[in-house]
Structure 1
């Protein structure tokens, strides 16, 4: 028989009642196997693909190691709560740490790999909550030391009334590793089968608020994921921590595609504009400048004036002089520049950032809006727009998805808005089109 998995809240309550009343329950009997560190280590993209596999590894280890009288339940993500029937806290924690250590090793292919964590349940004034998440190897080492002290009888504290720990974490760890070695191999094979689709370029509309008109478009790289997830956009199509050369190649390809479709639109007699994204690393490197600037230098002036480049991923702390040097040639070949601001990632004061951008030759800002913006979020956007315009710049917002935010922004100081609500994505640059609140009714 194996430890039983619980599916519903009432089953959890029944299991706790079987162990004893909540008031008499030894909290050491409840241990959480946490996955937050694994999720952080893999990144959101890989985690979305592997969450189910991680959960199956943990559950397999639980069923092979825990007692048939024990109970467990899968919680958020792939974390698990284990309810141990045995009241020996050290044994419960040791088993849990062994499970966590073995699964971490199976996932990352090496001993002492940081991954799953172990948390006990503690009682506070507010009620029960999880204690600090601990590294399983540190937990096992502590228990080994504790067992050694008890066995040789040199503990400075009174001898415990209970029998010495008879549980060997190393042996249990060995059992679990044998069980999950094949799972690690299977995991690697399955991950190799998950491939993303080729990169394509899409055009996203940018709404000019004062004119109630869409006649500017972002040219954005997009890649369909190999899983049923939302597609990847912008530089996320390159994966985690892409090389600078790869970023440059993507920027050049995006610029060429955008200019091709813009020129086709202009030849049709349509008065459109292009807002290409350019990574800071492309502009800051000689190789990037050598690849990108010759393309812009060949443009007729009337085409260059229709480009409003948006500089992405400007590092914190770049001085104004460096910004001005990096963007100097771009400013002479195109129209006004802008930079993307992500509010929750700001590390310095908004006024200081806006001043640094303005003095660095970047008069415009685009603020990325939360999916469900609160009143405070919108007020923050309005403040950023007012301060930017007070310095002679322009302000835009991206990520507009709902009517409420749209209506608020339509009556604000914001100059441009972008997001799914305005249509697209398009394969080509469409003819300019009017867009107003009546469109959303």
Structure 2
């Protein structure tokens, strides 16, 4: 589409990128066919095409409005539209640019600011978050149902990890909320990799990937977290660690974007490019290993929920399913598996009504094959789906490890 950015927009650091993305859109509307919020609300302005047009208007000088901000807020950033788009529109980066412009022009109401600040602060402190989760789990009956839905059904337990002992070594992103909500996920990962001759090298200095800050009005803080992680991982990468493994696909998608997000930072551009190149979702590691030697055995019926960040952002849709089938798992069919479950990072907290609707739709699809357990690859999806209190939801690596002799 034709675009004429305003003088103010042309002064933005990402002006050229925004103009390139806008001009790549041919306004065909194929994106709306797979947009979860458009399907729920039926409003053109709550679909990708409408949001692109609203961002275009603001960048061309139209006033920033609360209504436009709300339409952008309701986007899940699931990137399903990017998978569908025949023109290859880089929608999620345009959305980040548009949101930053609107957030600069329109200070949010006090309640929203407090919620977003609290979410960023909690994720920045895994120890505090874990303590709150443990306290909340013990006081569950006294808490509102909306809070109970966000807590694990049982106090999370974990077993010891093996000490590094193999020549092959990888780094593992511990994450910010996963140690509190599902600490056995990373521990199970270390144990399974150890069986395959790969050791997990601990790096305590690495923290949150930065995605929560970046997507909650604090892009600068998110990039600072990215830089700190690069600094923490760099010495181990120089000493031969072969990959940076993520068990949460949302974190993995963001780390793989470090190279683009820091492309204009002369001190970090080259390092960010190497870090992104070495970032691996766990399935990317295991699919290339002789996993058959693990001799997994399971009689459970399993439904796999493929998170949006795995299938649309990382383009790894179907990989976990193929790996589990190699190991003999009985997977049930999942209709509309491309649609978002409504978790979307902190979306289930900032847009709870829409998130619950999407969760209910997703659970109906996942449970249609009457599985014994639902597996997924992202802690946010796991917590959101399991919060309904229906079929148990676990990370797929825990399901795999439980099936090992």
User: Under TM normalisation by the shorter chain, which class is it?
Assistant: under 0.3
Q: Which has the higher helix share?
A: 2
TM-score where L is the length of structure 1: 0.25
More strand by share: 1
Q: What's the TM-score, normalizing by structure 2?
A: 0.27
